[in-house]
Structure 1
Amino acid sequence: MIWGCITYHGVGTITVVEGNINALKYIEIIDNNLWPVVVRHFPDDNYVFQDDNAPVHRALSVQDFRRETGLKSMNWPAQSPDLNIIENCWWVLKRELQKRTQNINNTKDLEREIRDIWEITVTYLKSLYNSIPRRILRVMRNKGKHTKY
């Protein structure tokens, strides 16, 4: 599995995670990969972390970790990929990986290609963030049903 994060200012960490993710592993991922991004991009502490509603993200130990560390996040509607702009980045990653299969012979090659592709431009990320109001409006107009996003 792959975990990654993005900001308006640029891509954050992307990491390949061995095996399945449970609550303890998710806490470790956040602790080791999210906090450095928050410190680098948000020295004024002006951020909101968004993840989806995967059960592991809602585990009590994860919620406790969020409270104890002051991780600022928001409630997010279930089944809302139209509003989750990182989904566009995952799509770019998958599309580009398919073009590079000849370069991938082992796990190390795969990780190298993933990290290379993850250098998504700030311009693209800003366009995704700037699309959020339109996305919300579209979802509202469609009464919560699927949109073009």
Structure 2
Amino acid sequence: MGRGKSLTDFEKGQIKGYIESGLKHNEIAKKIGRSQNVVSNFLRNEADYGKKMIGGKKYATTASERRLILRTASNSHLSASKIRDECGVNASLATVKRVIRSAKHLKRLKIKKKPPLNDARKEARLRFARDHMTWNKEWKAVVFSDEKKFNLDGPDGYNYYFHDMRKEECFLSRHHSCTGGVMVWGAISFYGTCELQFVSSKMNANVYKTVLQKAFPQFSEIFGPIQWTYQQDNAPIHTARVTKQWIKDQNVNLLEWPPYSPDINIIENIWGLLSRRVYEGGRQFQDSATLVEAIKKAWATISLSEIEKYYDSLSNRMFGIIKNRGGHTKY
């Protein structure tokens, strides 16, 4: 649709007169037979109304600044506001968003929580489920463990990111950089929890072994003479030779865990409970020390009945894997 006819000097005079008499923009538009937009545009900038813009498109950023914004946004979890701060450009937030939207190779996507499963991974999950589908009381002797990241400004990770379609998609991970938060190691048993340990995101196998050295006596005390089993995922520090050998030396069974299977690790559900309590009411934290105290306080509220509920769900999780032929379950 083309532009409408500009206001005449007479119409401009009418508008000024009506506005002085207290009429609203829509009322003036009806009286002079023009659209409300035309009236509002004139009143918004009387001095420049009707002047033609000379020259081509003007940018609030330079070409190099736009390239920097797009490089920073590529597969980034940062918000547009933080991208602007990271780039140090003197431009409005709307301009930065416009630059990102104009890039054909960038698309705003929600991070997928479930990792991809190829045929080999599905087969490993299916084999594990079949081997453990008859377990019932046996699960009560298993200790489930994991690490989790807690951010200062809210629950783990950003829900959305700027996906660069020239790169692989991102999946939600708890094992990423610990900037602006803390990394926590925790474990649960059917009979209770152990003390949380706050660790570095760059933890290696030897440091992980010291974590276990502090935690295992707590579970040995809980189980007494009962033989118990330790569960961990397949992170490199968990599968390292030094880690496995140390666990074996403690006369503790190690549960061989299928790859890419957070949906059957029930401590994931406990992390969910913990996060909701830590960040209840949209709470955010100014420093790590305050966040740590909040996590410890919330961890102490995890009840045995809550833990037992998830242990009771393990049989159904095994059957869920079998039903989905190794695929993801609803958990």
Q: TM-score, normalised by structure 1?
A: 0.91
Aligned counterpart, 2:203:
21
1:12 equivalenced with 2:194 (yes/no)? yes
1:117 equivalenced with 2:328 (yes/no)? no
1:131 equivalenced with 2:318 (yes/no)? no
Assess if the C-alpha contact under 8 Å between 1:97 and 1:113 holds in 2: yes
Note the 1:69-108 alignment, pairs <5 A: 69-99=250-280, 102=283, 104-108=285-289
Larger relative contact order, structure 1 or 2 (CA cutoff 8 Å, min sep 6): 1
Consecutive unaligned residues of structure 2, counting only runs of 5 or more, are 1-182
Distance in 2, matches of 1:94 and 1:85, equals 15
Assess if the C-alpha contact under 8 Å between 2:227 and 2:252 holds in 1: no
| More moved, 81-90 vs 95-104 | 95-104
SS at match of 1:128: helix
Assess if the C-alpha contact under 8 Å between 1:38 and 1:45 holds in 2: no
Distance in 2, matches of 1:146 and 1:41, equals 33
SS at match of 1:148: coil
| C-alpha RMSD of the superposition | 1.6
Partner amino acid, structure 1, of 2:269: N
| Structure with max Cα Rg | 2
Moved over 4 A (4+): 100-103
1:2 equivalenced with 2:213 (yes/no)? no
1:45 equivalenced with 2:232 (yes/no)? no
Kindly state the Cα deviation for residue 40 of structure 1 after the two structures are TM-superposed: 2.5
Aligned counterpart, 1:146:
328
Kindly state the Cα deviation for residue 68 of structure 1 after the two structures are TM-superposed: 2.0
The one-character-per-residue Cα deviations of 1:36-95 (angstroms, maximum 9, x if unpaired) are 321221111321110111111001111221222223211010111111000101112222
Distance in 2, matches of 1:45 and 1:115, equals 28
Distance in 2, matches of 1:92 and 1:115, equals 13
SS at match of 2:264: coil
Percent of paired sites with the same residue: 30
Q: TM-score, normalised by structure 2?
A: 0.43
Distance in 2, matches of 1:8 and 1:73, equals 17
